[in-house]
Amino acid sequence: MGQSKIGEAYVRHGGYNEVGELNDIIILYPQAKASTVPFNVAGCWDWWGYTGALFATNSGFQPTAIKRMIDRVAGL
């Protein structure tokens, strides 16, 4: 679920920030927006195909977005 449903609990208490700090790693927390069209009222990452047939491939909408985020942070 995204921040709209759980707030900052995952970010603040998941332990990833501490691991990132100790290892000089940037942690990204990308979000999926809640919506009724397509039906994703909880704002979950696509594990059932609501973003299209390529949802579980490297060419899918969300994996492509994550790759762009990583490239931008890495200065690529």
- Give the pLDDT confidence of 18-45 residue by residue, as tens digits: 999 999 999 999 888 888 988 888 888 9
The reported pLDDT for the residue numbered 13 is 94
Q: What is the pLDDT of residues 53-75, one digit of tens each?
A: 999 999 999 999 999 999 999 99
Whether the Cβ atoms of residue 68 and residue 54 lie closer than 8 Å to each other: no
Domain region containing 9: 3-74
Mean pLDDT of the 1-12 span: 84
If one counts the domains in the chain, the total is 1
- 3-state DSSP call for residue 9? helix
d(CA 32, CA 38): 12
* Cα–Cα distance, 31 to 3 (Å, whole number): 7
* Alpha helix segments (H runs only) across 1-76: 3-6, 9-13, 16-23, 61-74
